[in-house]
Structures are given as C-alpha cells and as structure tokens.
Amino acid sequence: MRILLLGGTTEASQMAGLLADAGIDAAFSYAGRTRAPVSQPLPTRVGGFGGVEGLLRYLEGAAITHVIDATHPFAAGMTRNAHDACTQLGLPLARLERPAWHPGPEDDWTFVPGVEDLPAALPERPARVFLAIGKQHIGLFSTAARHHYLLRLVDPPEGALPLPDTTVVLARGPFDVAGDRALMEAHGITHVVAKNAGGSGARAKLDAARALRLPVILAQRPEVPGGHVLAQPEAVLSWLRHSAPRGV
Ligand code: 3Y8
Ligand code: NAP
C-alpha cells in the first residue's frame, strides 16, 4: 500500500500524523502556495503535478495505490483532477472534507454563490471590511475600492495590491476568537468577508463577528465531483484498512 495525501489543511496535517504513526507508506503533497509550509511527518513534495496528465504520470511513477484528497473545499481544481486521474487509473480515492458552517440564531450571515459574488454583496456606503479570503482573489474587490480592507495573508504580498485603501496583517492560522475579536475591534471592522471553509482553523472570525454583532458575508463552496467523502481522519484510516489487500 502506498498513499498520496493531497494536503494543505488542518485535517491533512492530522491525517499525516495518523499515517506516520501507523507506519503506512505515504507521501504528502503541497501546492507550493506559501513560502514555508508547516513541515509534515511524511516525505513531502511541493508544487503542482501539471494537470491531470502530470498527476497520472506521478501516480504511476510512484506506484501509488490509494489517494486521500485532504485539500480545502475551495481547492476545486485539485479535487477535480484527483477524481479524474483516480477514475482513469481505477485507484481508490477518499476525500477528507470538513462540514460547512451554518449560522446560529444570533448570527447575521449573508451567503453568496461563489467568491466572485462577494464584492457585490458589500454595502453602497464605504465600510471597513475584514477580507479573510487569502491572496488569490483580492483582485475581485477592485470594483469595490470605496471600502477600507483589512487583509490577512500568509506571506507578504509581492508587489502592489490591487486595492487603494488596505491594512495588511500576516498570519498563518489556525486562529482564535480572542485574537480575531481584538484584531477586528482595533481596526473598527464593520463587515467580515470569508469563504465557507468549515473546520476549526478559520472559524474564529465568525465567532468574533457574533460577539461584536457584525454582519458576515460568506462565499459558498464550489461544486466538486462526488465520491467517498469522510469527515474524520480516523474514518479515512479505517477506509484504508478495509480497501487494502489482506495483511496491512
Ligand atoms: C499552502 C500550508 C495546518 C493547516 C492550516 C484550515 C486552517 C490555517 C484558515 C483567515 C482565513 C484562507 C487561506 C486559511 C486557513 C488553515 C490551514 C488555513 C484561510 C496554509 C498552507 C497553505 C495555504 C494556502 C492558503 C491560500 C489561501 C488559504 C489563507 C502552510 C497556511 C484564506 C482560506 O498566500 C496565498 O496564496 C494563500 C493561499 C490557498 C486562500 C487563497 O485563495 O488565497 N490557504 N494555507 C498549501 C499548499 O501550498 O498546498 O503554509 O503551512 C494552510 C492553512 N490555511 O496544517 O495547520 O485548515 O483551513 N488559508 C480560507 O479558509 O478561507 C485564512 O485569515 O481567517
Ligand atoms: P486549486 O485551485 O484547487 O488548485 C490549483 C492547482 O494547484 C492544481 O490544479 C494543482 O496544480 C495545484 N495544487 C493544489 N493543491 C495541491 C496539492 N495539495 N499538491 C499539489 N498540487 C496542488 O488549489 P488552491 O485553492 O490554490 O489551494 C492550494 C493549496 O492550498 C491546497 O493544498 C489547498 O488544500 C490549500 N488551501 C487552500 C485554501 C483555499 O481557500 N483555496 C484554503 C486553505 C488551504 P496542477 O494542476 O499543476 O497539478
């Protein structure tokens, strides 16, 4: 048995620990989005595969027998490619995915279909927006340049930002409610904009918004192919044991 673990999330790091502790032959994969990703207890590769074709070559070259897609719910491209490649090769594929967030009675949440719909959901009058969606989609907000944006990024931006009125904080997360509440108060935030990422690592800002009674605008997740979706790393481990040849 040899596993490819597609990582980049809290759950992927937990899965890596389980596989390493079980002594299962596995390789961890990052996209290479950040300069210094957290190290993993597994041999780690960094960078894209080169589309489905590149992934097929990697899977065959590395004699991978099972794939675990523990990427982020918004990493739709990687998820689609993993599904297509595993279907072509007839390889077992499980997706480790955390459930989406749902509002409580005290929450003031607005959902939009996708990340590209977020700017239009902001108010006409200038606001002070905590834009916690990372770096890849900041450009979408250049059509809403009237607002002040508090940007939380993993790495310093290379070059000028596509927005005129910003404050940048650098942080990798996972985050905590007290820290996010203090950050939002210090910057006089009036709106929180985020992705419906689910999980614990990005949840703090939603709880802080609830405490401060601030509106939240959330992008819903992109559609991804079906398949074997599990919510806990332990469930993936038992899936592996049941789908492996005898004696694992
Ligand atoms: C490179 C690996 C771990 C994993 C930690 C989780 C928690 C902290 C919360 C906010 C939201 C955001 C962003 C976020 C979180 C965890 C998790 C999660 C959100 C690292 C990591 C990589 C990335 C890529 C990065 C994206 C960006 C998204 C920032 C490592 C730290 C906004 C998603 O600068 C960039 O280009 C950043 C790109 C994809 C979204 C975007 O579109 O910009 N994640 N995040 C992975 C790779 O190379 O394969 O550097 O160590 C992982 C984590 N980020 O093991 O503890 O599991 O969700 N990551 C979102 O959820 O909205 C921050 O600020 O409140
Ligand atoms: P994406 O849009 O789905 O993928 C774009 C391309 O990046 C993929 O086609 C693939 O390139 C490469 N890629 C993505 N994940 C990879 C991985 N784990 N290993 C190797 N290559 C990978 O991905 P994304 O949204 O940019 O996310 C990139 C990474 O950040 C993923 O590891 C994801 O788990 C993590 N992350 C993303 C978010 C988010 O909000 N999107 C949040 C937290 C963590 P090729 O086509 O060349 O193979």
Span 162-193, pLDDT tens digits = 999 999 999 998 999 999 999 999 999 999 99
Atom 7, ligand 1: which residue's CA is nearest? Answer: 201
Q: Which residues pair with 6 in a beta bridge?
A: 29, 69
User: What pLDDT sits at residue 189?
Assistant: 98
pLDDT higher than 60, residue 248: no
Percent of the chain with pLDDT over 70: 98
Residue 238: half-sphere exposure toward Cβ, Cα within 13 Å = 5
By the 8 A CB rule, do 219 and 112 touch?
A: yes
User: What pLDDT sits at residue 113?
Assistant: 98
Residues in the chain: 248
The reply to whether ligand 1 has any atom less than 6 angstroms from the CB of 45 is no
Atom number, ligand 2, closest to the C-alpha of residue 133: 40
User: What pLDDT sits at residue 246?
Assistant: 55
Of 115, 21, 26, 124, which Cα lies nearest the Cα of 76?
115
197 CA distance to ligand 2 middle (Å): 14
User: What pLDDT sits at residue 56?
Assistant: 98
The reply to whether ligand 1 has any atom less than 6 angstroms from the CB of 195 is yes
186 CA distance to ligand 2 middle (Å): 32
31 CA distance to ligand 2 middle (Å): 5
pLDDT higher than 60, residue 71: yes
By the 8 A CB rule, do 75 and 13 touch?
A: no
User: What pLDDT sits at residue 245?
Assistant: 60
Task: Give the C-alpha separation, 210 to 104, whole Å.
Answer: 9
User: What pLDDT sits at residue 160?
Assistant: 93
What are 201-247's pLDDT values in tens digits? 899 999 999 999 999 999 999 999 988 999 999 999 999 999 866 55
- What average pLDDT does the segment 22-45 reach? 97
Q: Rounded mean pLDDT of the chain?
A: 96
